């Protein structure tokens, strides 16, 4: 069964700057949380998936690289050093991280030992609870900047998903598409399709993987520039994540929020495009549900 989008991981050096930027876009953000491997985050919870804003919390807590293990904190540190900001990872929903790893191995994908961790999460009423996760990573040596992993939540859902955190001034409902750029879309899309366990379809200038509600689109640099003129000058030498699409319930409300915050955007047929300067290095489409 095709995997669904769980969340995306956006990185930048300053988490407060990220929080302020996404607040101006109309997203409600969870209180700051700290990971045991040297990073910290805020989340914009949507309907069954979310956007994660992440930066380095304590470099001393980032572990050293070890054979067979994915160094999450180290990867975030290196990504920020190389790119400064952007969309580092795409995350897929999971109920069994061990089964995901077994499938990745059977498909001869590069995978790693399961990464288990827990962290404190603050609830809307101010109480703190403990939440836990198990992660299963899949990488490709020729696609070093486009990491996928599956995320299994190991706690009761009600400890994580909160209606107060899922209500947004811009009426955001759900993350539905990730956009990659690649010099050779067919090759990158083949890897994406194996990770998502989803079918491919040829589109203008690239390949779409998965259903419209949980899609990764892989575009040539020229096709990317046509869809997103804001990204025409982006470094597209290697496959990487560069944009994403979120459905909103009320597009007029979303535009009003952006106008009120002084955020520039470009109208499109079914929504608006927010340029990278306002969204931590990526282009964001807000489209009518």
* Average pLDDT rounded to a whole number, residues 73-99: 97
Q: How far apart are CA 2 and CA 44, in angstroms?
A: 24
Indicate yes or no: pTM above 0.85: yes
Q: How confident is the model at residue 77 (pLDDT cuts 50, 70, 90)?
A: very high
**Does the pLDDT of residue 237 top 90, yes or no?**
no
Give the per-residue pLDDT at 29. Answer: 98
* Average pLDDT rounded to a whole number, residues 151-167: 97
| Digit-coded pLDDT (tens) for 252-271 | 999 999 999 999 999 999 99
Percent of the chain with pLDDT over 90: 98
> Could you tell me which of 177, 193, 197, 195 has the C-alpha nearest to residue 185?
193
Give the per-residue pLDDT at 235. Answer: 86
Assign 3-class secondary structure to the chain.
CCCCEEEEEEECCCHHHHHHHHHHCCCCCCCCEECCCCEEEEEEECCCCEEEEEEECCHHHCCCCCCCCCCHHHHHHHHHHHHCCEEEEEEEEECCHHHHHHHHHHCCCEECCCEEEEEEEECCCCCEEEEEEEEEEEECCCCCECEEEEEEECCCHHHCCCHHHHCCCCCEEEEEEEEEECCCHHHHHHHHHHHHCCCEEEECCEEEECCCCCEEEEECHHHHHHHCHHHCCCCCCCCEEEEEEEEECCHHHHHHHHHHHCCCCEEECCEEEECHHHCCCCEEEEEEC
In order of their start, the domains of the chain are: 5-165 (3.10.180.10), 169-288 (3.10.180.10)
**Does the pLDDT of residue 11 top 90, yes or no?**
yes
| Digit-coded pLDDT (tens) for 163-219 | 999 999 999 999 999 999 999 999 999 999 999 999 999 999 999 999 999 999 999
């Amino acid at each position: 069964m095709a995997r669904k989008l769980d969340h995306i991981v956006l990185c930048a050096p300053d988490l407060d700057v990220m929080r302020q930027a996404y607040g101006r876009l109309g997203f409600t953000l969870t209180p700051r949380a700290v990971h045991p491997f040297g990073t910290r985050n805020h989340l914009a919870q949507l309907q069954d998936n979310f956007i994660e804003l992440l930066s380095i919390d304590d470099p001393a807590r980032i572990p050293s690289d070890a054979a067979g293990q994915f160094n999450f904190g180290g990867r975030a540190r290196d990504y920020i050093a190389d790119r400064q900001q952007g969309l580092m990872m795409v995350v897929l929903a999971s109920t069994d991280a061990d089964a995901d790893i077994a499938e990745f191995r059977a498909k001869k994908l590069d995978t790693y030992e399961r990464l288990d961790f827990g962290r404190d999460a603050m609830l809307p009423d101010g109480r703190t609870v403990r939440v836990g996760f198990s992660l299963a990573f899949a990488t490709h040596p020729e696609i070093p900047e486009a990491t996928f992993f599956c995320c299994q939540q190991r706690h009761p859902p009600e400890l994580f998903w909160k209606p107060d955190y899922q209500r947004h001034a811009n009426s955001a409902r759900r993350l539905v598409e990730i956009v990659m750029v690649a010099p050779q879309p067919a090759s990158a899309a083949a890897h994406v399709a194996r990770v998502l366990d989803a079918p491919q379809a040829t589109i203008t200038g690239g390949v779409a993987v998965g259903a419209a509600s949980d899609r990764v689109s892989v575009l040539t640099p020229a096709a990317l520039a046509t869809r997103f003129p804001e990204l025409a000058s982006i470094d597209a030498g290697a496959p990487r994540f560069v944009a994403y699409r979120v459905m909103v319930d009320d597009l007029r409300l979303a535009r009003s929020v952006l106008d009120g915050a002084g955020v520039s955007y470009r109208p499109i047929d079914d929504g608006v495009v927010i340029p990278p300067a306002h969204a931590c290095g990526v282009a964001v489409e807000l489209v009518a549900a």
